[in-house]
Amino acid sequence: MRLSLRQLDCNIDDLSPELYPHVMELLFSAGARDAWLTPIIMKHGRPGVCLSALFEAAVEERVLDVVFRETSTIGLRLHSVDREELRREVLEVMTEYGSVRVKYAYGKDDSTLNVAPEFEDCRRIAREQTVPLKVVYSAALRSAHSNSPRRPSAAQGDD
């Protein structure tokens, strides 16, 4: 599925790194579909970051407001982008540690191309049961593969 979205980018070299998680959280709350930081070297050899966000045009004003209000940038770049997405659904699978939500992504032929346990579910269960996170994550993957609602793609390897 192809989506038409907007992307903003701004270079920042004078903001405390401690503030970025807060900015990212606010961007998602404002409607950003994705947000990320890329380390860059700016003029005069100064280290900085490029803050980027992907969002629908309908939330552009809210997203821009977050960037200008919460960061030190005085300008940014905006452009339109197309994003191609696989069809996906989130289902719950049962593991020996409890129920975990799993995201399945499907190809055009309806085959399962990707399977990913929800990290926060796995982390919560690992903390509650004092089990290593990687053990819970692996159990969720095993359960997800054995209970997949679609057939696996020939291109899909073992996770």
pLDDT tens, residue order, the chain (159 aa): 899 999 999 999 999 999 999 999 999 999 999 999 999 999 999 999 999 999 999 999 999 999 999 999 999 999 999 999 999 999 999 999 999 999 999 999 989 999 999 999 999 999 999 999 999 999 999 999 988 776 665 555 444
Provide the pLDDT for residue 159.
47
Q: What is the CATH number of the domain that holds 30?
A: 3.30.70.1380
- 89-109 pLDDT, tens digit each: 999 999 999 999 999 999 999
Judge whether 49 and 67 are in contact, CB under 8 Å. Answer: no
Q: Return the C-alpha torsion angle 141, 146, 150, 152, nearest 10.
A: 70
Question: Based on the structure, what is the number of domains in the chain?
Answer: 2
How big is the CA angle at 42 (ends 38 and 46), to the nearest 5 degrees? Answer: 105
For residues 131 and 97, membership in a common domain is answered with yes
Query: Does 156 fall in a domain?
Result: no
Query: Does 72 fall in a domain?
Result: yes
Query: Does 133 fall in a domain?
Result: yes
Distances (CA, A) of 47 to 21, 38, 44, 68: 18, 11, 9, 20
Domain termination site, one of 52, 69, 84 = 84
Distance CA 145, CA 45 (A): 48
For residues 62 and 104, membership in a common domain is answered with no
For residues 65 and 26, membership in a common domain is answered with yes
For residues 91 and 102, membership in a common domain is answered with yes
For residues 79 and 113, membership in a common domain is answered with no
Domain of residue 36 covers 2-84
Distance CA 105, CA 100 (A): 16
Distance CA 65, CA 43 (A): 26
Query: Does 151 fall in a domain?
Result: no
Scan for tokens 């038409």, then name that residue: 4
For residues 72 and 93, membership in a common domain is answered with no
